[in-house]
Amino acid sequence: MAVVAVTSELPGTGLERLAAVHEVRRHPRGSPPSAAELAALAAGADALVTLVSDRVDAALLAACPSVRVVANVAVGVNNVDLEAARAAGVWVTNTPDVLTEATADFTMALLLAVTRRLVEGDRVVRAGAFTGWRPDYMLGVGLQGRVLGIVGLGRIGRAVARRALAFGMTVHAHDPAPPAGPGLPVTLFSSLDAMLPTVDVLTLHCPLLPATRRLIDARRLALLPRGAYLVNASRGEVVDEAALVAALERGHLAGAALDVYEREPEVHPGLPGRDDVVLAPHLGSATRETRAAMVDLAIDNVLAVLAGRRPPTPVVEPGERGPGTGDRE
Ligand code: DGY
């Protein structure tokens, strides 16, 4: 029987399956473990089940040499130092595919909420300030015929493209390594800077990598047409939040809908007071069935490694050279 350290309570039945065959050592309910708590939890463990809020770095891996696999309950693995894991001979796994449709649905919810002023309208009604229908009241913009620009045409980006096309949008996309034949009527731009002036709504679906940190900065926000919208359900650090606030303040952007934040869970103080932003607490994959499927896949990864088998969704494989597959969402 191996010891599996788990940093959080998890939905679904995956943990029961794990506990039937291995000892599960779980961080108590509450806030995410500090670095010291994480090291104490992982000490002597054979496997580690982590969330995006758990920092798995070289120091942690060095302090826990018995860990053979880090199974992240997320598709993004930016919380794990992949090079350090590779050097330590540790598998790193993620949970792709099972969250694609839920995250794409939520992206459309953000897009619709910001362009149709849904959250602002909800606040008006709750405040008792709705005085009746008027033809010029609280007008937003329609999606039909507008251009959606997608940054990152991986699984989630393509699922968003399918939905946007069904809403009558034209889809432009930028991806430094686009999938061969995306099979969708999407106009690909090899240059992000060339795509930005062409879009009405920009939505981000790239992983957080050194090359994508603050990819959407003041200069690129200025390349968007006046009146454009920004949607971000990828990682907060892809957007320079201060530059976003400035672009909203000067009216260059018509609005933004964010599910993720640069210093999550902190939110830039310039955002919550604005009516032209929709702010969600990192809910992209938050459906019961999706979260249960993510946990199941993470547990399958752990069980496979502990049984000496190749895990179903590896990002880093012990002994491999070069980057893993964590560069696509
Ligand atoms: C992911 O999977 O990377 C999400 O951000 C967490 O749901």
43-89, pLDDT tens digit by residue? Answer: 999 999 999 999 999 999 999 999 999 999 999 999 999 999 999 99
**Antiparallel, parallel or unpaired: β 314-316 and 91-93:** antiparallel
* From 49, 100, 206, 285, mutation site for ligand 1 pocket: most ligand atoms within 8 A of C-beta: 285
**Average pLDDT of the residues of the chain:** 95
158-208, pLDDT tens digit by residue? Answer: 999 999 999 999 999 999 998 887 689 999 999 999 999 999 999 999 999
φ and ψ at residue 266, rounded to 5 degrees: -70, 150
Q: Which residues line ligand 1 (CB under 6 A)?
A: 52, 74-76, 99, 284-285
* From 99, 295, 313, mutation site for ligand 1 pocket: most ligand atoms within 8 A of C-beta: 99
Burial of 70 per CB tally in 10 Å (0-12, 13-18, 19+) = buried
Question: Helical H runs in 116-198?
Answer: 118-126, 155-166, 192-195
Mean pLDDT in residue range 21-47: 94
Question: Which residue is closest in CA terms to ligand 1's atom 4?
Answer: 74
Which candidate in 235, 268, 291, 328 is catalytic? 235
172 is catalytic: no
8 contacts 51 by C-beta, under 8 angstroms: yes
In this prediction, what percent of the chain has a pLDDT beyond 90? 93
Q: How far is the CA of 75 from the centre of ligand 1 (A)?
A: 5
Which candidate in 25, 163, 264, 274 is catalytic? 264
In this prediction, what percent of the chain has a pLDDT beyond 70? 97
Among residues 242, 285, 287, 288, the alpha carbon closest in space to that of 261 is found at 242
What's the confidence (pLDDT) of residue 321?
62
Mean pLDDT in residue range 225-236: 98
Q: How far is the CA of 205 from the centre of ligand 1 (A)?
A: 11
Indicate whether 19 pLDDT > 90: yes
Position 319 confidence tier, pLDDT thresholds 50, 70, 90: confident
Which ligand 1 atom sits nearest the alpha carbon of residue 233? Answer: 5
* From 8, 103, 155, 288, mutation site for ligand 1 pocket: most ligand atoms within 8 A of C-beta: 103
Q: How far is the CA of 131 from the centre of ligand 1 (A)?
A: 40
Which ligand 1 atom sits nearest the alpha carbon of residue 94? Answer: 2
Question: Which residue is closest in CA terms to ligand 1's atom 6?
Answer: 74
174 is catalytic: no
Indicate whether 322 pLDDT > 80: no
Q: How far is the CA of 129 from the centre of ligand 1 (A)?
A: 37
The SS3 assignment for 115 reads helix
The C-alpha angle 211, 216, 222, rounded to 5 degrees, equals 140
130: left (phi over 0), alpha (psi -120 to 50) or beta: beta
Name the more confident of 325 and 108. 108
Which ligand 1 atom sits nearest the alpha carbon of residue 291? Answer: 7
Which ligand 1 atom sits nearest the alpha carbon of residue 72? Answer: 2
What's the confidence (pLDDT) of residue 182?
64
Mean pLDDT in residue range 82-106: 98
235 is catalytic: yes
DSSP letter assigned to residue 144: T
150 contacts 203 by C-beta, under 8 angstroms: yes
Which ligand 1 atom sits nearest the alpha carbon of residue 73? Answer: 2
256: left (phi over 0), alpha (psi -120 to 50) or beta: beta
273-294, pLDDT tens digit by residue? Answer: 999 999 999 999 999 999 999 9
Position 120 confidence tier, pLDDT thresholds 50, 70, 90: very high
